[in-house]
Structure 1
Amino acid sequence: MTQDPVEVNMRQLRAFAAVAQHRSVRKAADSLHLTQPAVTRAVRGLERELGLTLFDRSSRGMSTTDEGDLVQLRVRRAIEHLEGAGREMDEAAAAGEPRARRCSLVGQVARRHLQAVIAIADHYTETAAALSLGLSQPSITLALRDLERIVGRDLFLRTSRGMVATTCGQIMVRCGKLALAEIGAIGSDLAASVGLVSGRLLVGALPLSGTVLAPRAISQLAAAHPELHVSVIESPYDALLQGLRCGDIDVMVGTLHPSPPNDMVQERLFDDVLSVVVRPGHPLAQRKRLALPDIANAEWVVPYRRTRSRNVFERAILAAGLSLPAHAIESNTVAMVRGLLRASDRLSVLSRRQALHEQRNGQLTLLPIELAGTELQIGVVMRADAIRSAGLEALLAELRALCEEESIGDLQTAATL
């Protein structure tokens, strides 16, 4: 049984899905407008690729095995993403634009089409896309033109900045990524059925809020499951949200949004607040008690605009009757905040858990200032309709265990400061 990413072709998957649906090669062949031998060859080719028997064959028909059920779930979802792309592109047609003929993306789109359009969107030129895939530039151009013929619309505009996806192109890229992600998860699903956590897990960490919790959980996850390949990217909320929607990342860790989008689900792990931090040896570090008016004229390093931390910080300052910091430096990474503070007498804010971590390591000092109304919920964000892989479930278990282990101790420590 394979544990590697599945590299089967779309023809095999379509044939498998049709046989699983109709429980008959003959009926599947009729629905696909193929010959019975062609469908049989495609299904057997998929079974050879996976090293599994996907159907129980009997005189009463063909029923999926347990492994076949797992494959069928992912293949059905991949097909749904492609069908959804066709519907969305039709709905996105501009007023007055001739409606393109409806076509069956599922019946005509191949892996090469999806890989080409995704690579062009990522790299902005056909030449760079070809290099990223190890293909020739003419093959990428041909795949794009073929896909545009299938969908009946232009997917990219050629501009001075390179090739930019049209609205339909953006839909095709997003749905194509989701479809390929479902197919790519088949191998890890099959491995999980025999107790092996493998495959890939892509974690998005929000700056200034996931830098303590996520690394420990991921480190423990990697030690417990060496066959699982974990990648971490730190970006602002909007960028990670886009990554979640197209399957580029599996989970976002950090400060939760008070009004999450309908297509996302959030899980709160613990509550936190913002704390004011300075460099060790800062003149204010010796004070036993401080209030916000005591730092009214301070210079600051603040989170980026439109982040949750920045919003609640500014509300706390204004609620205290103070003016917002003038000439503040904006930074969205703990490393840069740390460096800027250590090189000056500026103040900054971090989540309480992060601030305690920095203080324990002698990097920064937490000031005894109450920032009322800066409560934050820290947790994870996932696509509401996603099937959680074994790797993601294992990460969630590590995060929950760490929160349960540390929360009481951190809150007790915070209460003494």
Structure 2
Amino acid sequence: MEDSLRYIRDFLSVADSGSIARASEAIFKASSAIARAVGELERHLGVSLFERRPRGMLLNAYGEAVRNRARRITDEIAAALDEVSRLAKLQPTVERHAITSLLFNGRGLLLLIRLSELRNLSAAAVEVGLSQAGASMALSRMEGALGQPLFQRMMQGMVVTDAGALIVSRGKRIVAELRHMRADVAAIAGTLRGHITIGALPLGRTHLLPTAIAATLQRHPDIRVTTVESPYEALVAGLRDGDIDVIVGALRTGERNTGLLIESLFEDRLGIIARAGHPLAVHPLAVHPLAGQPLSLRDLLPQRWILPRPGAPGRRLIDQSFREFAIEPPVPSVETGDLAVLRGLLKTSDLITAISPHQLHHEIASGDLVELPVALGRTVRQIGITLRDGAMLSPAALAVLDAIRAASTPLRVAREGRD
């Protein structure tokens, strides 16, 4: 679909003017070239976009959907041009026109995107189907038109410059719009098809997302889902760039949410978790004098702890909970954010942890782990979805979101029932 980018301006001109002849006059391009561009775009999408009539061309339902995406693409290109022009202090119209042409080059944008990720020109060239010489020449043309480098050659590879980062960020959004364009067309034809990328935070991975994804694929088997497991900051960067469609997990508040939309699905809480045979657990063989009794955080100070790394949201919550009772938080024996490591340590030792019971749902349900009867302070947090403000998700992505909301309903009801 990236090759279709070059046809977007011709398509929009015909869509807005209503005929190839009028589009030719408006953009000073041969009618035959415009007709060929529209035909290529229709071939790439596999559908006709116009009703061809003697007096002109009228958009059909597929064409309307494509025009919506095409306008978003041209808006991204215009924003990229303005940002790069200000940064590079470009004035001559010829320079701005040259950069605009480069931004409508899908293969060129993909080269920049892959190069920013791989930091190696040869590897990026292979990714986009170019020879190393061809990729080097394309990069030189782009840098020549801009009048400054898009990448710096450094010991750690090719590192994107400020100007290059602006183009890469907008380029990723453009690629996302092209990806969604095909999904929009498929939905009109009656099939939900497409690819959705979900940023999965820990509190969404164990139960909520698997349930929602399984339900979606049962109804719409042609949808493809990719999950990305990274720190929140990395996921937000991907969300802003269009690499990620939605983030699912604990919601964040504050200034860093500028440009993002958050939707709370349910409240979650921390619990103190240990193995079923732990001396403090409610267990027939428990011999500890406190076993089975309501515990305080002070009672747990002698225990050995597994906690998230400093700065992690869960770590801040448990530390605040201790301080709420005027108790200095414990120094953990193990600091980890890896759920597999956490599970293994809990099952094979008397270490305890503070974590959302939802993250260990299966182990608690099977009886391997238990939640200790401990009164905690304010450890409630909102779990939900985070979207980029202004994003227009594909029908496939919207179907997954609906499934996520449906899967969250029992969790919300269970929480409300406990309250």
Q: Say whether 1:35 aligns with 2:9.
A: no
Out of 18, 38, 57, the position equivalent to 2:52 is 57
Task: Give the drift of 1:79.
Answer: 1.6
The answer to whether the 8 A contact 1:271-1:376 is kept is yes
Supply the distance in 2 between the matched residues of 1:350 and 1:299 (Cα, whole angstroms).
15
2:288 is matched with which residue?
none
In structure 1, how many angstroms separate the alpha carbons of the residues matched to 2:345 and 2:215? Answer: 31
Equivalent position of 1:387 in the other structure: 392
One-letter amino acid matched to 2:186: A
Matches within 5 A, 1:340-351: 340-351=345-356
| Distance apart, 1:385 and its partner CA | 0.9
> CA offset at residue 341 of structure 1?
2.2
Are residues 1:103 and 2:99 paired?
no
Shift of 1:168: 1.2
Q: Distance in 2 between matches of 1:208 and 1:180?
A: 29
Report the CA distance between 1:7 and its aligned residue: 5.0
2: CA distance, partners of 1:107 / 1:99: 15
Which of 220, 231, 239 pairs up with 2:234? Answer: 239
Are residues 1:303 and 2:284 paired? no
Per mean C-alpha deviation after superposition, the further-off stretch among 28-37 and 184-193 is: 28-37
Question: Which of 263, 268, 274 is matched with 2:270 structurally?
Answer: 274
Cα 1:199–1:356 shift into 2, 3 Å: closer
| 1:18-417 to 2 correspondences below 5 Å | 18-58=13-53, 60-93=55-88, 99=90, 101=92, 102-104=95-97, 105-109=99-103, 110-259=105-254, 261-286=257-282, 287-288=291-292, 289-409=294-414, 412=417
Please state how far the C-alpha of 1:182 moved relative to its aligned partner: 0.5
Structure 2 Cα separation of the partners of residues 212 and 300 of structure 1: 25
Q: How many residues align?
A: 405
Q: Find the residue that maps to 2:145 and give its secondary structure.
A: helix
Asked if the contact 1:209/1:351 (under 8 Å) is kept, the reply is no
Match of 1:3 in 2: none
Equivalent residues of 2:122, 2:132 under 8 A apart: yes
Contact between 1:300 and 1:328, CA under 8 Å: does it hold in 2? Answer: yes
Report the secondary structure of 2:205's partner residue: coil
- The percent of aligned pairs where both chains have the same amino acid is 34
Q: Is the 8 A contact 1:100 1:152 kept in 2?
A: no
> For the residues of structure 2 that align with 1:207 and 1:372, how far apart are their CA atoms?
22
SS in 2 for 1:185: helix
Give SS of 1:103's match. helix
Deviates more, 1:21-30 or 1:245-254: 21-30
SS of equivalent residue, structure 1 residue 34? coil
| Aligned-partner Cα distance in 2 for 1:80–1:285 | 59
- 1:83 is displaced (CA, Å) by 1.5
Uncovered stretches (5+) of structure 2, i.e. residues with no partner:
283-290
Shift of 1:51: 3.1
CA offset digits 1:57-105 (Å, max 9, x no partner): 3455433111100011111111211211111223345xxxx54645134
| Secondary structure of residue in 1 paired with 2:269 | strand
Amino acid at match of 2:304: E
Q: Which residue of 1 aligns with 2:286?
A: none
2:307 touches 2:332 (CA, 8 Å); kept in 1? no
CA contact (8 A) 2:6 2:106 kept: no
Structure 1 residue 355: deviation in Å? 4.2
The answer (yes or no) to whether the contact 1:257–1:308 under 8 Å persists in 2 is: no
Q: CA deviation at 1:392?
A: 1.5
